[in-house]
Structure 1
Amino acid sequence: MSRILVVDDDRAVRVLLKSILVKDSHEVIESPDGSSALVATREERPDLILLDLMLPDYNGLEVLSALKEDRDLEAIPVIVLTGSSDRQSKLTALSSGAVDFISKPFMSEEVLLRVNTQLKLHNLIKSLRVAVDNLQSDVLAAGRIQAALVPQNALQGLKMEWIYSPSYRVGGDIFDVVKLGEEKFFVYLADMSGHGVNAAMLSVMVHRFIEDYRGGIGEGEFDLKDFMAELDGNFKFEKFNLFFTIISMIIDTSSKKLLLCNAGHPSPMLMENERLRVLENKEGLIGMNMIRGSIEEINLSEGDRLILYTDGFTESTNEDGEMFGEERLRNILLGCRDMSLSATIENLRDRFEKFKGSKKAEDDVSLLLIEF
């Protein structure tokens, strides 16, 4: 049973409409003027309102406007009652938020058809809103889980700062730092394809797989090539309908060596004194049977900085549709070469936010900065 408010100063019209609606199992509330209609709407919260445009105290359009300006009442559908020749009032009412109109004199069949159609639409919209609210709750929960998996602080023995900002749609960036020994660290940064809960949950599975892999081998036995092969073999595209890119590395601070393997990820950069070198060694995507496990060995010097990032950083656009881009990132990094690691990351974050403005990030934004 739906509750319908009938607003008309003509008692005969109210009686007739009530008779039609009650026979169709609707509950009817009556109001003879605009003031009582607004009070009844706030107190009774009807499912639909039949509103005459000619009222003794208010113009019906003023009542309609008051309803639509009230956030608690604006969703209630309003059907206006008008004279058959009052074309301008009908157009004005529809443009002001009314969902339909009924011309006087009216037939009972037309009243029921228009009322029941709008009630069905209103109920559908309410159901959709509930579904969207539930989905948003799921997305927020996925985002919280995802954010909880990334490190909260850098590990002792490794100078590292980062920017990590999940998109408003929830994406699939994930990174971690694992201590393999006193002076040896495993670092990875992965980016799941797509957005939403599926990508976020895949990132959780990848994180869990890596934790289990590390727990199943002895200390110091982490082989980067074997790890990438295992990762590729366990996350096949045909199983998850998703692929991901990942860059993984082992950093040995005692021997000053870096072992690096890149599966489809944006190429990292190494800042050596005044020079910014792009490390181009790259293979295919995880899950696409393209991984050979090619490992690049890099000798490090004191003061070298390594920059890892996901494409969500460089492909972010501002309100004008301009892309942040790799060249802009390189120029900012070169301009920060004499700054501390923390000052560099804060400068990067500030420049990125100013570039983006009020535009929401479509993708996760991740950037890791490691200094040796």
Structure 2
Amino acid sequence: MVRILVVEDDRTTQLVLRRMLEEQGYEVATANDGIEGMEQARTFRPALIICDWIMPRLDGLEVCRQVKADPDLSTIYFILLTARGAVEDRVQGLDSGADEFLAKPVELSELRARVGAGLRLNRVYQALQDQKRILESELTEAAEYVRSLLPPPLTGSVHIDSRFIPSRQLGGDCFDYYWLDPDYLAIYLLDVSGHGLGAALPSISVLNLLRSQSMDGVNFYQPNHVLRALNETFQMDDQNDKYLTIWYGVYNQARRQLIYSSAGHPPALLISKAPENGVVEVKQLKTVSLPIGMMPDTKFVNQRCDIGVGSTLYVFSDGVYEIIKPDGEIWGLEGLMDLVCSQQEVISVQGLNYILNYIKTLSPNEAFEDDVSLLRIDFS
């Protein structure tokens, strides 16, 4: 049975409304003022509220504001009962969240029409809420699936820790690392343009393609070969205008040498200490090229660097450093470089959480504006 709540301090009007509504087959609850009305709204959970404007303790406008501000009650259809007929009064009521007005004294035919229309809209609201809950449940399940695809921390001669924080439930960032053979370790991180499901799907496709090594004729030991194959496969004209940036490296632990290539991606940061004086040095590892998918004939090149004992490599998406501070300035890559260099010993103890917690202090927003992915690779 459909539930309706009548909030009215005048007992005669309250009784009349209750009888009229019950005669129409509704289950009716009543409240004598606004405070009692809010209590009834939370416990009775009506589909529709008819509330008088002028009441002691808490008037109808405030009841309306509180109902519409409560996520659990906001879909209740709210009819404001009033003897006021001025335009400015109606504007004030609508600004408070009222869905409809009912003039005093109440006419039976008008009451029936207003309530019927309100309940039809309430059913639409409820259906939308049900669909929203289903969608959120499915997105949560999809997000858990994406997280399950990401690799666990790596231990041994090379230690790798990672963090993945999408700005929504799903994001376009993805990464992986695995041994191609006992001596060669592949590491990559990619960022598909956009957010949400539209970015997550191509990101997962690239992950599965690289992990399965199913691209014919591609030498996965050569990063530029991998990027060229991805560019041939994922042109944005065929991917709903989606493109991606990527940093891809292969580490040879026997030679302690890293070969890498990137496509429109932020540079990886190699942190090491100079052997002669112990001064911390940072080197940006990046090659210049367009993102994957923008141009079919894009050229990709490799670069090499030696990895000293005790060096640390950071690979990340731009969401890690493109943080808008309260003054409107962007923290930037230089800020991240300063942090990982100056706090190297602290980070080695507290891990990547230290970096993420520091970043959160820079922004007034609780959530990140962009997807955040971060790898920390320690070479023993």
Matches within 5 A, 1:1-372: 2-6=2-6, 27=26, 29=28, 31=30, 33=32, 45-52=45-52, 61=60, 64=63, 68=67, 75-84=75-84, 98-108=98-108, 110-213=110-213, 222-241=221-240, 242-272=242-272, 273=274, 274-288=280-294, 289-337=296-344, 341-343=348-350, 345-356=352-363, 358-372=365-379
Distance change (3 Å), C-alpha of 1:38 and 1:175: closer
Amino acid at match of 1:238: D
User: For residues 306-349 of structure 1, what are the alpha-carbon distances to aligned partners after superposition, in whole Å with 9 as ceiling and x for unaligned?
Assistant: 22211111113345544231111111122135567444645423
Partner deviation per Cα, 1:122-152 (whole Å, 9 max, x = no partner) = 3333233223222322332222122222222
Superposed CA offset, 1:30-73 (max 9, x none): 75955997897677644223334578x98764994798398765
CA contact (8 A) 2:347 2:355 kept: no
Q: Distance in 2 between matches of 1:107 and 1:260?
A: 78
Q: Measure the CA separation in 2 of the matches of 1:232 and 1:32.
A: 66
Shift of residue 250, structure 1, vs aligned partner: 0.8
Q: Given that residues 169 and 195 in structure 1 are in contact (C-alpha distance below 8 angstroms), is that contact kept between their aligned partners in structure 2?
A: no
**Deviations along 1:74-130, whole A, 9 cap, x unmatched?**
643332333356999877766665433222235555434433443333333323322
Q: Contact (CA 8 Å) 1:3, 1:26: kept in 2 or not?
A: no
* 8 Å contact kept, 2:213–2:220: no
Opposite residue 305 of structure 2, the aligned amino acid is: I
Tell me, in whole angstroms, the C-alpha distance in 1 between the residues paired with 2:36 and 2:164: 54
Q: TM-score, normalised by structure 1?
A: 0.80
Q: Which secondary structure state, in structure 1, belongs to the residue aligned with residue 331 of structure 2? A: coil
Query: How far apart in 1 are the matches of 2:159 and 2:62?
Result: 64
Q: Is the 8 A contact 2:312 2:378 kept in 1?
A: yes
Tell me how many residue pairs correspond in the alignment: 368
Contact 2:174/2:207, CA 8 A, preserved across alignment: yes
In 1, distance between residues paired with 2:309 and 2:40? 76
Query: How large is the Cα RMSD of the aligned pairs?
Result: 3.9
Give 1:235's aligned amino acid.
Answer: F
Q: Is the 8 A contact 2:215 2:229 kept in 1?
A: no
Contact kept? 1:260, 1:296, Cα under 8 Å? yes
- What amino acid is the match of 1:267? P
Q: Which moved more, 1:143-152 or 1:269-278?
A: 269-278
**SS in structure 2 of the partner of residue 353 of structure 1:** helix
Unaligned runs of at least 5 residues, structure 1: none
* Worse-matched range after superposition: 290-299 or 32-41: 32-41
Any conservation in 1 of the 2:65–2:96 contact (CA below 8 Å)?
no
Q: Aligned partner of 1:313: which letter?
A: V
Counterparts in 2 of 1:44 and 1:255: CA distance versus 1, 3 Å? closer
1:163 Cα deviation after fit: 3.4
SS at match of 2:213: helix
1:255 shift after superposition: 1.2
